[in-house]
Structure 1
Amino acid sequence: MKLDLDAISVSIAGRPILDQVSLTVHTGRFIALVGPNGSGKSTLLRTVYRARRPDAGTVRLDGRDLWSMSAAEAARHTGVLMQEQHSGFEFTVAETVALGRTPHLGMFDRFTRSDRAAVDDAMTRTGLIPFRNRRVGELSGGERQRVLLARALAQQPRLLVLDEPTNHLDIRHQLDILELVRELDITVLAALHSLDLAAAYADSVALLDAGHLVEHGPPEEVLTPTAIRKVFDVDATVHHDEGTARFALRPRCVCPDQPCRWSCRTRRHTPLTEAADAR
């Protein structure tokens, strides 16, 4: 499914959050949204999964205006995994994943063979079959995140929207989630904090800053030391390892001497003579 965001603008309480952001996510591509806190990543995602109507601009799925669809139709197309989702911990894994079929069911419809197959497939993909009868509240954070991903997959979406899906997860579970997503072969739009993960898993990166789209393209072209310094206000060294970028980040050097004579551990340095006088 192709996603087109055309000149999206959003203001909240009179404060501009997004300013005419335009972005295209082609079918089957994984696009990562990166940027500092407050750059508009989550707000942009909310316009895609219909949590917030944009003040201006259009969201299109395969050329159709998303906001002209019914909520149920939009949900059939779009699966969502947010950074903090609270599901009924008293439900079993299978019951929770089955909730993903809700957009496909009428008020009085009962589960069919195809519904059960979709749930089983989602649990198989996410490695949850051995947990199917466990209560969600008994699982670890990483396991619960897999349950919520499986619930989204049970919708059989053509577009998957992820808002910081690796938040609060340890390194192994971060990689597990993104490996699963990368193998789905569907269109993915994900907000990620980690530049390393964005570079490793995304086909392209959209860099946001203060509600503006700064750059969009392959990770190695977008996530440059210059761009990182400008947007995140940190210094970066980029290492390329077998085609994947790795980032060494440090506080931005503001020393008068270039190159810096000290190890830049703070934003500002006290000259040695002043430090001696202070003692």
Structure 2
Amino acid sequence: MKTSLAESTETLQIKPLKDEFGALIENVDLQSADDATLEKVVQAFRLHGAILLRNQTMEPDDLMRFISAFGEPELHTQKNYCLPGYPHIFRLSNMTDEDGNALGAHNDGVGWHTDYSYKAEPVMSTMLYAVEVPDEGGETLLADQVAAYNDLAEDRKAQLDPLKIHHSYVHFVENREFNSYQLTDEQRQDNPDVIHPMIRVHPADGRKALWISTGTVKHIIGMEDDEAMKLVDELVDYVTQPKYVFSHKWQKGDVLMWDNRCTLHTGSLFDDTKYQRMAHRLWVKGEKPIAVETKEP
């Protein structure tokens, strides 16, 4: 008899992060967990859209073992802030070395978005491991785009289902608020513009999600720019209502992972003159977004 995803996670101690979204997984030590336990964590992730495990101690090799349980790790567009010897581990930090050189990207990820939305195959998931955290501020917010889509009126769904969004990495870098670098010719060449559906179908079970974002969004196909950006702003405001958002207050040793195919996320600011932050970010490769099948009029 085939075991369902729900049955395969029965031995895990799970609490919801918010209402019916996300899973707090308790009493699992990722560093010493066997392969069978890691597989149960993977299945919980597939069911719940986001997972949180607290009080973890993770060396770089532990992080690589864990992320690899979910699929093939993805590399980063920026290379200069990766952990030496570990190109899949990207550092988010306001800390500097003894010579005053930045150890990580600071204020990266502020603004509602999905990671690698400017790629033909955006990353499937994002994982953050908290090495050093500020005492206040710096929360990570996740918005449940499945619940937001499900709550739309049927005529609104019919309006949005066929829409396509023009994403651009160049547009993102040249217009982002916290821009600390200039694009190289290689980065421009490696990141051509892409077109993705506004409504995305999850390959695991067919659930539909609003797949709206900011930053990389340059245009909506078939609409005037002003009209398109007004719609983007309206939908972002809608999906980021408090009832759809989980706000995570970081503790040292937290591992937070979310599914970019059905969530929207943002970092938040903290007093970087008072506190230091260090987090390690890892990605899992994804697939080309699946659009809703719509009937021709």
Shorter chain as denominator, the TM-score bin is under 0.3
Higher helix share: 1
Compute the TM-score of the two structures, normalised by the length of structure 2.
0.23
Instruction: Please say which structure displays the higher CA radius of gyration.
Output: 1
TM-score normalised by L of structure 1: 0.24
